[in-house]
């Protein structure tokens, strides 16, 4: 149980003793520091409820709290705001319990099973800057949910279904018409066929084919036919498609690896298709499928809709499945395979209508238990200085790889470490780059667009990943220098900064629970900055290692260890790795 929860429970007990029953007591930081650490505002609602004067109730409560040794300086302000201060004895005693495990200061919610759908990668297309946010947010939420005791599956849900694949194969066919994949009489082993295509080629082929299909109706028709062949698992075309997926997946994995992003499930849209028959039956049974110009659609309009809800395209007129339908089939698949309590979708905010449609249709057809929560976690875009999605210097689409390279170069220039090993320096620069990129990406509320500012993001000062890493490594090195000292408990808090550090440490569970509620990592990045900068203030004001008062020195080391451990826990939750030095 967290320290805050313990205080809260004790407060509830005290109020109960006075005859007042309250669910939960909001411990707010006091507005005026001199008045106390926390404010308790319970007297006002209680006065209403019991028809009494709030000031009288506040006095009653204050009298009762005086019996509790963890509080000091109990005073009443205004109509009945009660201010309390926590004693140093209480704080040190509670913090000492965390020395071996800061995770004891977390309040875990009811356990749940969650599938997190994030990343958004599409086969045969390069990951671009727009894919950063989904990967970063999803990975962070995955790690947080695990920390909070949930059972979690991260699923890449690869975009591996539909026209893009047909287009890519068509273009390959034009380039290499003699490949056995296109030879209907081929009877050999496809796995042994050499494919002269690299991932780099794929990334060029798709834009080219897509452009051609826009200009040439015949080309488009050919691509449609090939798409259908792949979807009907026609030998050669299907085998080629599997090879393309493999080449592409390998590259996608490499980029995600460099971002510390990984998945438990590497399923794709196409894997949901085996659940389509069951899906069809569920929709059909409820009479939800309507014919419309050769297609099958599901009407979703409701009287209370504030915005127009277009029908969902269930089967296209050419017989293929839409993006919505594969998402519906995927829900069914997840029900059968993971049976989660919740499914979270970390996807670009501009897809919110798509998910409104999918979720509504899923409810209509009751494809999953109504208790299962389907949550769309939309995010804003990362823009360039012009306020438009970040581009390369010549105005092209910026791939995620080139974005990472750009930040790598910048951090390489900035780090000043003494090492003869070029490899080591590059590794450190890369870790710092990922920290800068991910930390800055998590700084604004997820729904907000933000501007990519390399200079600012890679700065060693201020709210940046580099600052957090640098400071945390410094804490580690201080602790390393104190290796021979036995520091296992704090004796006291000796000054205001230490008190502030202690109170900030106490706030960890609030930050984690809020993040889990808002599904936005900005709570964590903010908190990391706050804790780190107060600690740094303490660090610059005190010379820990040469302190002569032994108890003081030991207390300071313990405090350092607590901040270090919390920092490491949160840095890891953000999916950031810490270099040995920087
Ligand atoms: N691949 C999709 C895109 O690039 C995002 C997939 C999001 N997840 C989902 N279940 N629809 O737009």
How many C-beta atoms surround the C-beta of residue 276 within 10 A?
17
Distances (CA, A) of 190 to 110, 234, 235: 50, 13, 9
Q: Percent of the chain at pLDDT above 90?
A: 90
Distances (CA, A) of 250 to 203, 253, 419: 13, 5, 32
Distance CA 78, CA 309 (A): 51
Tokens of 46: 């209680």
Among 117, 347, 361, 362, residue to substitute to test ligand 1 (most atoms within 8 Å of Cβ): 347
| pLDDT score recorded for residue 24 | 83
pLDDT tens figures, 473-510: 999 999 999 999 999 999 999 999 999 999 999 999 99
| pLDDT score recorded for residue 186 | 94
| pLDDT score recorded for residue 485 | 95
3-class secondary-structure state, position 69: coil
Q: Does residue 39 have a pLDDT over 90?
A: yes
Q: Does residue 33 have a pLDDT over 90?
A: no
Ligand 1 site, residue 117, Cβ cutoff 6 A: yes
The DSSP output letter for 398 is: P
The 10 Å CB-count burial string (b at 16+, else e) for 185-199 is: eeeeebeeeebebeb
| pLDDT score recorded for residue 111 | 97
Place of tokens 């970040």: 390
How, if at all, do strands 113-117 and 38-40 pair?
unpaired
| pLDDT score recorded for residue 419 | 79
pTM: 0.95
3-class secondary-structure state, position 118: coil
Q: Does residue 23 have a pLDDT over 90?
A: no
Q: Which helix (H) or strand (E) holds 296?
A: strand 295-298
Among 122, 160, 263, 321, residue to substitute to test ligand 1 (most atoms within 8 Å of Cβ): 122
Q: Does residue 32 have a pLDDT over 90?
A: no
User: Who contacts 555 (Cβ-Cβ below 8 Å, separation ≥6)?
Assistant: 92, 489, 490, 491, 492, 493, 494
Closest atom of ligand 1 to CA, residue 121:
1
Q: Does residue 313 have a pLDDT over 90?
A: yes
pLDDT tens figures, 390-447: 888 888 888 999 999 999 999 999 988 877 789 999 999 999 999 999 999 999 999 9
| pLDDT score recorded for residue 8 | 94
Q: Does residue 31 have a pLDDT over 90?
A: no
Ligand 1 site, residue 272, Cβ cutoff 6 A: no
CA nearest ligand 1 atom 7, residue: 120
Among 157, 162, 267, 333, residue to substitute to test ligand 1 (most atoms within 8 Å of Cβ): 157
The torsion defined by the Cα of 163, 165, 167 and 172, in degrees rounded to 10, comes to -170
Query: Alpha carbon 416 to chain centroid distance?
Result: 31
Ligand 1 site, residue 269, Cβ cutoff 6 A: no
| pLDDT score recorded for residue 397 | 82
The DSSP output letter for 350 is: G
Distances (CA, A) of 208 to 9, 122, 125, 390, 489: 64, 16, 11, 22, 65
pLDDT tens figures, 122-153: 999 999 998 999 999 999 999 999 999 999 99
Ligand 1 site, residue 164, Cβ cutoff 6 A: no
Q: Please report the DSSP string for 206-269 in residue order.
A: HHHHHHHHHH-HHHHHHHHHHHHHHHTT-HHHHHHHHHHHHHHHHHHHHHHHHTT---SB--BG
Distances (CA, A) of 145 to 79, 138, 181, 506, 521: 41, 10, 44, 20, 12
Ligand 1 site, residue 122, Cβ cutoff 6 A: yes
Q: What is the mean pLDDT of residues 106-132?
A: 95
Ligand 1 site, residue 37, Cβ cutoff 6 A: no
Contact 86, 3 (CB under 8 A): no
Distances (CA, A) of 206 to 129, 155, 200: 18, 24, 11
pLDDT tens figures, 252-289: 999 999 999 999 999 999 999 999 999 999 999 999 99
Distance CA 13, CA 107 (A): 19
Quick one: pLDDT band at residue 27, thresholds 50, 70, 90?
Answer: confident
Average pLDDT of the chain, as a whole number: 95
3-class secondary-structure state, position 184: coil
| pLDDT score recorded for residue 471 | 98
CA nearest ligand 1 atom 2, residue: 120
Residue 293: left (phi > 0), alpha (psi -120 to 50), or beta?
left
| Nearest to 199, CA basis, from 235, 270, 258, 249 | 249
pLDDT tens figures, 501-554: 999 999 999 999 999 999 999 999 999 999 999 999 999 999 999 999 999 999
């Amino acid at each position: 149980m967290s320290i805050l929860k313990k205080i809260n429970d004790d407060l509830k007990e005290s109020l109960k003793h006075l005859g007042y029953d309250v669910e939960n007591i909001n411990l707010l930081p006091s507005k005026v520091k001199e008045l106390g650490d926390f404010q308790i505002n319970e007297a006002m609602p209680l006065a209403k409820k019991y028809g009494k004067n709030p000031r009288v109730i506040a006095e009653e409560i204050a009298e009762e709290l005086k019996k509790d040794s963890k509080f000091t300086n109990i005073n009443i302000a205004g109509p009945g705001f009660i201010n309390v201060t926590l004693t140093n004895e209480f704080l040190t005693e509670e913090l000492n319990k965390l020395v071996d495990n800061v995770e004891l200061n977390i309040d875990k919610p009811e356990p749940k099973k969650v599938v997190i759908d994030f990343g958004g990668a599409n086969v045969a297309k390069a990951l671009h800057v727009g894919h950063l946010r989904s990967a970063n947010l999803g990975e962070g939420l995955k790690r947080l949910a695990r920390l909070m005791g949930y059972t979690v599956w991260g699923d890449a849900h690869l975009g591996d279904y539909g026209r893009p694949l047909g287009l890519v194969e068509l273009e390959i066919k034009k380039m290499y018409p003699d490949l056995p994949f296109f030879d209907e009489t081929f009877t050999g082993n496809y796995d042994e066929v050499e494919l002269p295509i690299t991932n780099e080629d794929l990334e060029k082929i798709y834009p080219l084919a897509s452009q051609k299909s826009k200009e040439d109706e015949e080309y488009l028709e050919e691509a449609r036919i090939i798409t259908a062949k792949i979807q009907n698992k026609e030998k050669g075309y299907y085998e080629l498609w599997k090879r393309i997926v493999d080449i592409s997946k390998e590259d996608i994995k490499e980029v995600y690896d460099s971002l510390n992003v990984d998945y438990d499930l590497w399923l794709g849209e196409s894997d949901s298709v085996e659940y389509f028959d069951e899906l069809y039956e569920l929709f059909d049974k409820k009479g939800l499928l309507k014919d419309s110009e050769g297609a099958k659609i599901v009407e979703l309009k409701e009287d209370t809709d504030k915005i127009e809800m277009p029908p969902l395209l269930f089967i296209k007129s050419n017989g293929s499945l839409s993006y919505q339908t594969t998402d519906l089939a995927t829900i069914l698949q997840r029900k059968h395979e993971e049976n989660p309590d919740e499914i979270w979708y970390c996807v670009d905010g501009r897809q919110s209508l798509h998910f409104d449609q999918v979720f509504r249709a899923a409810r209509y057809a009751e494809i999953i238990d109504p208790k299962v929560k389907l949550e769309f976690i939309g995010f804003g875009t990362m823009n360039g200085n012009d306020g438009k999605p970040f581009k390369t210097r010549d105005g092209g689409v910026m791939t995620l790889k080139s974005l990472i390279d750009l930040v790598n170069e910048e951090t390489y220039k900035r780090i000043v470490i003494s090492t003869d090993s070029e490899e080591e320096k590059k590794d450190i620069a890369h870790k710092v780059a990922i920290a800068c990129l991910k930390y800055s990406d998590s700084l604004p509320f997820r729904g907000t667009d933000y501007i990519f500012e390399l200079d600012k993001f890679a700065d060693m000062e201020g709210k940046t990943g580099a600052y957090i890493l640098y400071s945390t490594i410094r804490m580690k090195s201080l602790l390393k220098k104190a290796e021979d000292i036995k520091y296992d408990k704090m004796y006291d808090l000796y000054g205001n900064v230490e008190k502030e550090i202690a109170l900030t440490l106490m706030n960890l569970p609030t930050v984690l629970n809020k993040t889990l509620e808002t599904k936005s990592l900005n709570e964590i990045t903010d908190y990391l900055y706050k804790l780190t900068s107060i600690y740094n203030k303490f660090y610059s004001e005190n010379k820990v290692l040469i302190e002569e008062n032994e108890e003081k020195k030991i207390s300071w080391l313990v405090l350092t260890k607590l901040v270090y451990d919390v920092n490491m826990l949160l840095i890891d939750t953000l999916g950031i790795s810490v270099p040995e030095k920087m």
